[in-house]
Chain A
Amino acid sequence: MNANVNTVLGTLVLTCLTSTAFAVEVSGMLKNQTAYGTGEEALQQQEWLLDAEFNREFYQGDLTAITRVRWDSDSSLNSSQTSSDDSFSNESAAFKTGKEGLVELRELYWQLATEDIYWRIGKQQVVWGEADGLKLLDKINPQSYREFTLDNFDDSRIPLWMVNAEINVGEDSVLQALLITDTTGHELADSNSPFAFTSPLLVPQAPAGVSIEIQDAQAPDDGLKDSDLGLRLVSFVSGWDVSINYLYHYVDTPVVRASLQGNGILVQQEYERSHLLGGSASTSLGQWIVRTELAYETDQYLRSEASFPGVIKSDLASYVVGLDWQGWSDQFISLQVFQSHILSNASQAVLDKQDSKMSFMWESKFLNETLTLEALALYSINDEDGVNQVNLNYNYEANIDVYLGFDHFYGDSQGLFGQFDNSDRVIAGLNWGFE
């Protein structure tokens, strides 16, 4: 099994770390989240996570390993099938026990900072862009959609094996080069889970009464030829944080094409390449922060109105403008506007030629920043659907956070958010850190 590689590697590493030459720093978090679906009137999630981080210095550089053990006493979000495992490359897959348990090596990397270059080699997360919530340039690591976008990005982002080098150029600039050999793609929610994709924007709509054969996606597997390549130049100029980004990568969602075969429909899934070129800029003006980001992506496959093949190909240009305001003490207010443009074959796509979304966030802190109330609203202007999230977090002790919140979806079931209208949930959770 794929998992064996991981386990072996993990054991080796742990042995390495615990050998006596240098001390190992260990720290960890125990997290619990319980979610109750108000639409289905049933428990949606009861999840326990134990993340452990090990740090060990060597003569040159240091090694970091983050392991995770997950136990879902309510596993509605999980799948018992292994088909979704196919989104994971061989090296990345986790070890699962039934539907409830999971052990994985989240991150494992070695880092070294020299005079001019900073190296980080191994399984890691790299984040690009200035946008919050929706991802334009943040396309390096794939994401798990087990909980749609409701989960912390830190937890939902899937770390990849890559070589990451940041080279100092000039006074205030850094050139980052990435070679990502791990071809793992997005992890989609199981088809029985409350967060399974059903919107025609994302998945083909199966007509009733026809037999369908679905072929599994084949993750590209050819070493260097199938690797992703990324380049980013960042700089701090006249008070602006700017970046220029380029990524040559396999889009993390496979393209799903349908064709007629005999009396039924054959559905094939394939990963396709794309170029991503973009940039970002942000600055502060008094109490305001301005953030902008734009991305031009080639060879995007979008769902089409027609069922066969069910996709159209086009280049996609998107941008986001965000404004944050911190004029009042302990308050953070942020507004973002996203837009994407389909550059060809737009009339055939399910997605509107120009699609706009907005997000609004308000975060308040109280009691010497021990109590945080956050409200986030994502809204699709075209489809008039969205999601509202409210979260109240209390830092009970320095190392214990407890939180309570709810997520509410609304809108037409065809929309990106509206498809989860029945998956509204109330959540409560606990994060317990230890050293």
Chain B
Amino acid sequence: MNYDQLTLDEGSAQHPQKSEPSGAESFFRKVVSHPKKIVLASFLLLFAMGALVPGIQKDTRSDAFLADDNPALVYREKVKKLFGLSDPMVVSVVSEGSIFSIEALNAIYDLSEVISDIHNIDPDGITSLATENNISGTEEGMEVSSFMEDKLTSQEEVNAIKKALRDFPLYQGSLLANDETASLIVAELLDETLAEQTYKDVTAAVNNYPLPKGLSVHVAGEGAISGFFGTYIDTDARRLNPLAGLIITLIIIVAFRRLGVALAGNLIIAASVVMTVAAMVIFDVPFYVITNALPVILIGIAVADSIHIYSEYFERRARHPQEDIKESIVQALLEMWRPITLTTFTTVAGFLGLSFAAYMPPFQAFGYFTAFGVAMAWLYSLIFLPALMALLKTEVQAGLAKKMRSDDHDAFAKVMVVLGNFTQKNAKFIVASALVIFVVGAFSASKIIVNEDRITNFHPSEPLYKADRVINQHFDGTSYLDIVIETPEDEGVFEPEVLKKIEALQEYARTLPHVNGATSIVDYLKQMNRSLNGGEKDQYSLPTDKDLIAQYFLLYAASSDPSDFEEEVDYDYRLANVRVVLNSGAYIDSKIVVEAMQAYIDENVNDELLTATLSGRVLLTYHWIKDIGVSHFSGVVLALFLVWLVSSVLFRSAVAGMYALIPVLTSILLVYASMAFLSISLGVGTSMFAAVAIGLGVDFAIHTLDRLKVLYGKTQDMEKTLQQFYPSTGRALFFNVLALALGFGVLTLSKVIPLNSFGLIVAISVVSSFLVSLTLLPALVQLIKPKFVVGGSMKNTQAKDNSPSLKVASILVVAAVMGYGLLDNQAQASIMPSGLDIAENINQVEEGVQQTRKLHMKMVDRRGKVRERFTLGFRKYYGDEKRTVLFYLKPRNIKDTAFLTYDYSQKEDDQWLYLPALRKARRISASDRGDYFLGTDYTYEDIKKEGKVETRDYNFKTLSEETINGTQVYLVEGMPKDKKIAKELGYGKAHWWVDPSNWVVLKAKYWDTKLNELKTLNMGDVRKVDGIWTRHTMKVVNHKSGHKTEFTFSEVDYEKDVKDKIFTRQAITRGVPR
């Protein structure tokens, strides 16, 4: 090792030719000559983007993991509307002895009241011993009375309840624990988005209640989990991220013994994180739960570039202390910009791979934005950092410099040298060990279980976790699978065949593992039957006569409130719900149940009498997780492929690409092996690790390969190459891995299990990637001497211009992004009158051949400023052609302005606009349908269509029945048939609420092409004029701009003769007709 020799060589190689500097060199020289401007501009940009950051929206709901139009999610919304069912909070009251004591039951009574008063709890949605009714038989017939009318005062009352409950199988396991030591209070939420606050409120209320001795209360349930899940992870992540940043800062200081470097590193981290979050704000992407991992990743990546640049720079300062500092900076960057760019590109490729394969919006967003953040870090490292360095003029620390100059390396370099020597001597052994790891890893990978059980995301010490365990032990369970039964007509549920099928369905469900209960209207009917037939146990069965069944309900209604069944059956008795209860929320358990139920339904249930559809939280989890395995693996494969592609292009060698993959692949396999060994299953949180590992791990390989190539190019000797590699680049990489491993290692301190596992896994993968890069790769290079390393010569050092290959690589990445195709989930078929039928009905509503009307337009901008305009309009049909003319009457500024349209059915419209200022009518181009009409919030299409819908544009689907102001309406959804139409219209989705009594659209809502809410229209004052249904008021709110338009029509007249000549260009130049 002869540094002096190296110095000499470098000295002459420093300026090998006095010819044209490369593009890169000129660029960096420019950067260091205008440091102040660049630093200022970078800060300004940072602050400008930083200003956007507070606008970030958080979406920590677990439902955010499913795309909005996922059929399971959509259907669940429908079920919620029909039956009022969703994810409830479940409060269990547990007694040390029997629950049947005065104190315990009174406590249940009180708590039911207390809970029903809490904000966001549906006061009609409480299910407990205090609210439910007992159905019993008397001489007169059926008696329906609540278990607890009022608080209890005597043991007789308690015993009566005990007996009643023991007689009512429905409640055993659901309200009453099988061992009779506990009871449940189930509370439905009104607004799921407030679940977290509600969980806190319920817990507080429960804790404030003076419990009698021997009684304990636990709050759990899907409602609690959903609410808490997001913020649980969020709060912990926010605690740990700064800690990670701090540790990394310390490492930098230790590595370079300089504060300025740590400052610079942190600035770059800040820049990349801030700009990424700002980008999320700009693109309207919310901050999801998993986005918490993004800053950690960016911290790790952003700091790597600084470490490498500073390392090179300080080494240069050590060896050329007389050199101008700016020159050192330029030279350091010339040496490092290529590998830094290479690593950036490969990392970006890795994350994009994740996005492409992901089907959940948070993962897609995560991949794209992390890639963006990495790119920002790269930009700042290559532009801002040199400028900052030029300003700070940080000199290498004296002690460090001395070490770098001489053979006396510091501790870290020494370690690397040892590693290097070991590698050189035992190259073959290393390769063999690697093969073994490969095999073991691949084998373990096949053993991985895909599973997700949301409760396990919480630490066992969390009250929520304990509560969940309690309930699942004592009761049927807390995980619900709903089966919605639909019959074609009202009172279809009364059909005995239908009820028999439901009963069979329930029985089948109970045979499945983890299913402890299945309840439906059938259980109530059976109890009613029993009560009315002497109370014998064998009378707990279904009546077989439809009229009898109808009478039972009547009898019930006479004794109690028929709305007691609104969670089991709908108002018209056309739909019924079967609720299947599981005692496990784990995917592997619910998968069996869901698939078995679906198979049973397909075979035995669906026919002309009824159809059954699965829904509920269990189904959602199933849909959510079932594709995770496939998605994960395809993501890995895709990311690896992209990394290979980019590396191959950048190194101009397919073989080099393969070399780059080796450490990453090894580390992933090692992780799979660990996961199998530690029984960590592949779930939502852990599936992400692969992309992160690829993204971070590949950097080690790239730096190694690049540096080996450059060094070999200079020395033409493999031994010298390896000897020089370890103390310099090896040392830098060592700090890199320390920073990452310790930074991510911080996450293992988290109580939050997903964060914990994620941190551990990433730390393992990063360390193994590092080790493999620094042992296996050099070993392979030493043994095989691949062309892409040894093929270079003296010339192929920093003077080489890599821009063509970088351009190719960037084009590839862009092409990959553009080649992204979306798999569309076709929505399931609807049940009510088909969407297309409804649309056709709407279009057939009479409009009248001619029409005269006055229109008052009121436009309100987002600040509340009002502008009013008055117009007079005429319309007349000439066969299929519609001619419309609109004259502005007031205000004076626009008086006499007129707008004339010939609306043809097949060809483009002809339009003219008369402007009084020009005294001329000018021909204007047929407006784009999606353009806004004369400054209002209606588009030209809206105005032309006037309440009708264009069947050629949309695919229609009826979603549900709803009520608007007491009127029953159908909700129809329209999705544009293709992207082109969507772009023309400006709509990605539309909803119409149609009144079936006259097929008039009463309300409409539109989403933009990115499916953000765009505008909502409300129609009012709908009445017949001259026998034709006319809407007199139309109000539209544009949610994006905050602008509102109100149209009020008056003096609508379909009888008055409209002269043909008014629809001519000449006519509109004459001003308002009188």
Contacts and interface: CB of A to CB of B under 8 A. Distances in A.
A330 B859 contact: no
B892 A434 contact: yes
B947 interface: no
Interface residues of A, number: 56
B1073 interface: yes
A253 to B, nearest CB: 21
Interface string B931-945: 110111100000000
Contact of B932 (A113, A129, A236, A329): A329
Contacts of A397: 865, 867
Contacts of A369: 932, 934-935
Contacts of A113: 1061, 1070, 1073
B546 interface: no
Interface string A313-333: 000000000001110011000
Interface string A34-66: 000000000000000000000101000010000
A253 B963 CA distance: 72
Contact of B910 (A125, A239, A286): A239
A104 B622 CA distance: 83
Given A153-B917, A288-B925, A397-B867, A168 B1061 contact: yes
Interface in B1017-1074: 1041, 1043, 1061, 1064-1066, 1069-1070, 1073-1074
Interface centre among A55, A283, A330, A397 (most CB of B within 10 A): A397
A395 B869 CA distance: 12
Given A236-B1064, A397-B867, A29 B893 contact: yes
B1065 A153 contact: no
B923 interface: yes
A178 interface: no
Contacts of B934: 369
A72 to B, nearest CB: 21
A234 B861 contact: no
A381 interface: no
Given A239-B910, A286-B908, A368 B923 contact: no
Contacts of B1073: 113
A152 B1074 CA distance: 27
Contacts of A62: 1074
B334 to A, nearest CB: 44
A433 B893 contact: yes
Given A284-B925, A368-B1043, A399 B893 contact: yes
A175 B310 CA distance: 85
A111 B1067 CA distance: 12
Nearest to B868: A398
A20 B928 CA distance: 48
A329 B927 CA distance: 9
A395 B867 contact: yes
A324 B925 CA distance: 9
A157 B919 contact: yes
A23 to B, nearest CB: 12
Contacts of B1065: 234, 236, 241
A289 B1074 CA distance: 31
A19 interface: no
Interface in A270-291: 282-284, 286-289, 291
A330 B1066 CA distance: 26
B891 A368 contact: no
B1066 A166 contact: yes
Contacts of A330: 931-932
B450 to A, nearest CB: 48
B256 to A, nearest CB: 52
B464 to A, nearest CB: 49
Given A29-B893, A398-B893, A368 B924 contact: no
Given A168-B1061, A398-B867, A111 B861 contact: no
A153 B916 CA distance: 10
Given A234-B1065, A370-B861, A433-B893, A287 B925 contact: yes
A127 B920 contact: yes
Interface of A: 27-29, 55, 57, 62, 111, 113, 118, 120, 125, 127, 129-130, 132, 152-154, 157, 166, 168, 172, 174, 176, 234, 236, 239, 241, 282-284, 286-289, 291, 324-326, 329-330, 365, 367-370, 395, 397-401, 431, 433-435
Given A120-B1070, A324-B925, A369-B932, 14 more contacts: A29-B893, A55-B1074, A113-B1061, A284-B925, A284-B926, A286-B926, A291-B923, A326-B925, A368-B861, A368-B937, A369-B935, A398-B868, A398-B893, A435-B892
Q: Top 8 A-B pairs ranked by shortest CB distance? A: A433-B892, A369-B935, A399-B891, A398-B867, A433-B893, A368-B935, A326-B925, A127-B919
6 contacts: A284-B926, A325-B925, A329-B930, A399-B892, A431-B893, A433-B895
